[in-house]
Structures are given as C-alpha cells and as structure tokens.
Structure 1
Amino acid sequence: MAKVHVTTTINGEPAEFLCEPDKSMLDVLRNTLGLTGTKEGCGTGDCGACSITVDGRLVCACLMLAAEAEGHEIGTIEGMARGEALHPLQQKFLEMAALQCGICTPGVLIAAKSLLEKNPDPTETEVRFGLAGNLCRCTGYDKIVRAVLETAAEMRETAQ
C-alpha cells in the first residue's frame, strides 16, 4: 500500500509525515509523531479520550484518517500549555483535583478549551452538554464541571 504524504500544522507548528491511507490520526499522533498525550480509550469515538481539534472543531482522533489532516490546523493536549505556563484550564484542574487516572483528562481538557473558545460564559448545563462526549470513570463530573466554570470566570475577569 502506498503511503500518503501529509503536510499540516500541529499545535501551531508545521508538520509533515507519511502514513498508510487507513491510519487514524490518533495512531499517527501517538506512534509516528510521538505526541502521546492524546489517549485511546475506546477506538470507536464513544469516550472522547482522543479528542483533538481540527481547525478549531472538536474531533475524535480515532475516527479521523490521518490523511484528512492535509492542510488543516490540528490541536492536541501538548499544545495547550505555552512553554512552562499551563493553560488556565490545566491549572484549575490541578488545583481542584478534577483529574485522576489521566486517560480521559487530555480529551476533557481539549473539549473544555474548545467549549470556552466558543462560549466564554457557559452555564453549568452548557458545560455538561459541551463535555457530554467525554467519559470519565474515576472522578465523576462535578469537579470537572466546577473547574471549567471557575476557569471561565477567571478568564473573563482577566480579559476585562
């Protein structure tokens, strides 16, 4: 099978890779590019552990063919922090113990970031709806929802 050459942008940096036409974006991120923060939970798009953004839209990397990344902007958990500074969501998740085993956490953070970029002032219901595609078996959801709401409030205050 002939490999596909893909030119894309990942976390703001130009990226090129070769992949089999049937390889998922999740597989290429983890096994070809060494970006192992994106996790595989189910492999069927049901759990959200592999959430990434493609041109700002939330996508399950396990359901996306890597060849589809051609010409697009991909965002992964590795791109959330800038240098040594954690993203405000990452910091708040740590402060509020809104994480445990780490399998779902990257996908939840990406989904929460995507939500706040579209809606910087969400209600609790909107946060729960925005994270509905991300399953967490360890923490429950209360601490996660509270962390997202507090981050949103702090980010709004900082922006003023």
Structure 2
Amino acid sequence: MPKAKVLELADALSLNEPEIRQLLEASMTSVAPYWYLPFPKNPFFIGRSEELHALHNHLLACADTAMPIFALQGMGGIGKTQVAIEYAYRYAFEYTALLWIDAQTPESLLVSLQHIAQVLQLPARLETNPQQLIEAVQYWLARHTQWLLIWDHLEDLDMI
C-alpha cells in the first residue's frame, strides 16, 4: 500500500504518532526505499528519549547543509550503537535511504559498502576494486537527498 494511502487511513482513524509509525511499518516490507541496517529493532530498548530527540532536532536543523554530522561518543559498551539503531527505526520514514557502515575494520567497512551498493542497485556492486566501490557510493550520496548514513565503530573521522 502506498505511503500516502496509509497516512490518509491513519488520519481518518485519528492515530497518534506511535500508532502511525506502527501502521506504516506493518504496511511496508522495508521502512525506507533503500534500507541497509544489519540489526533488528531492539524490543528491550528503553530510555534515551532526550538523546534521540536531540539527535533528531540536530539533524533536522542541519538538513539544508551539505552533510549534517552528529557523533555519539563515549566509552565502549555504553549503548551508542543501540541508540543509533533505535534512531534508525524510530525515524526511518523521514529518510529516502537509511544505510549503515561498520567501520570497525577495513574489511567490515568494505563489506558494508558492498551491501550498500547492492541495496542501491549500483552498477559497481560487483566491483572488486574498493576505490571504485567507494566512489560509486559517494556518487550516489552526492546526487540524492534525505538519506541517513550511520557509521558504527568509527574511531578515525578522516575515514569519512
């Protein structure tokens, strides 16, 4: 069912925002047209509403800039990845593409880019040259808007 029809139905039923999101999730096979998030939604995620709201407000405020950036930083194991996953699921409908890069190792970064190229159906998705794969993904990102690219385990900002 098209998103516009689902929203029309939600309006007719006077649904609140969480109910609308739930209806949209149930009506779609994926939450964004281009979706690569290698984690399911965590049903046990609680709290962090202030952080999620601040993150969303920051990204909305910076939407007109070339590439808004927001970094979650802190010691390992405090839940940064879980916050990013929750944000992705909570606000997926506001993005045309939602993509995830695991930057823990050069190999995991390359695997992530290959998955992204596959999801985006880029001709370079079969490319074995990492530089050409990187350039193809960058090219797509430069020519599209309203996407969210999450970098997980990023230690060196120069990698971006």
Higher strand share: 1
Give the TM-score of the pair, scaled to structure 1.
Answer: 0.27
Give the TM-score of the pair, scaled to structure 2.
Answer: 0.27
